[in-house]
Chain A
């Protein structure tokens, strides 16, 4: 039978990397959105 300690280690490492991965994805999305907004703003206004 596996050492029950490994369950705790798995939970510790798993939650830590999950938190970092979620934050990284959140940052990447925020960067994409803000770049899109900057692109929109730098476009010349539409001519009527």
Chain B
């Protein structure tokens, strides 16, 4: 029951965030209702940053603390997987919003392309992991891929400042202060908190699964039937 507390709080937070996105936040004057995608797109991008920051930290610890590699490897793979879900949401909601606001669904500019590169790195990480025998060597190789993926995060974030981009610049972390009306800013912050809680709940679930897998691997099965169960 204790393990359900965080998912329930996260689900409540998300429900409040959706309600606010449709009934509290005002309609944007130029773009109209399509701008409401902002309340899913930006929090998902924030969670994607957070996930790959944790991946980088856990991956460094896999390499730096060989005695504790199992613990950090479980956290790293969990964050890559959950981060990939939010990354997919960013890459889905962004083009849908752009299709209406820009008139094109995709532009090969640096922010969009570097986000797609991170998605490919995350997919590659999970494919490599599923195809390699488990153990410390796999954890160390995955850690290197995780660190390479995380290097893409500052490129994604600063792309709109370093290069000319179709994607708009920061509206909240703007050097001259947030460029949003109060009600939009409040809705965004509620969505950010709700998505962060959702991320924490999903990662906690995924880490528990990974730790259970590690326990199974550490205690070899006693019979052929059990071995079949493990493989399945």
Contact = CB atoms under 8 A, between A and B. Distances in A.
A19 B37 contact: no
Interface residues of A, number: 26
A30 B205 CA distance: 10
Interface string B181-224: 00000000000000000100010011011001101100101110
A37 B216 CA distance: 8
A20 B85 contact: yes
A19 B85 contact: yes
B33 interface: yes
Contact of A5 (B34, B85, B229): B34
Central interface residue in A3, A8, A12, A34, by most chain B CB within 10 Å: A12
Contacts of A9: 33-34, 36-37
A34 B96 CA distance: 37
A19 B215 contact: no
B217 to A, nearest CB: 11
A19 B88 contact: yes
B100 interface: yes
A19 B82 CA distance: 11
Nearest to A27: B205
B97 A31 contact: no
A28 B197 CA distance: 17
A16 to B, nearest CB: 5
Contacts of B212: 31, 34-35, 37-38
16 contacts: A3-B33, A4-B100, A5-B31, A6-B33, A12-B40, A12-B92, A15-B96, A16-B40, A16-B89, A19-B89, A23-B85, A31-B205, A34-B209, A41-B216, A41-B219, A41-B222
Interface of A: 3-6, 8-9, 11-13, 15-16, 19-20, 23-24, 27-28, 30-31, 34-35, 37-38, 40-41, 45
Interface of B: 7, 18, 21, 31-34, 36-37, 40-41, 44, 82, 85, 88-89, 92-93, 96-97, 99-100, 198, 202, 205-206, 208-209, 212-213, 215-216, 219, 221-223, 226, 229-230
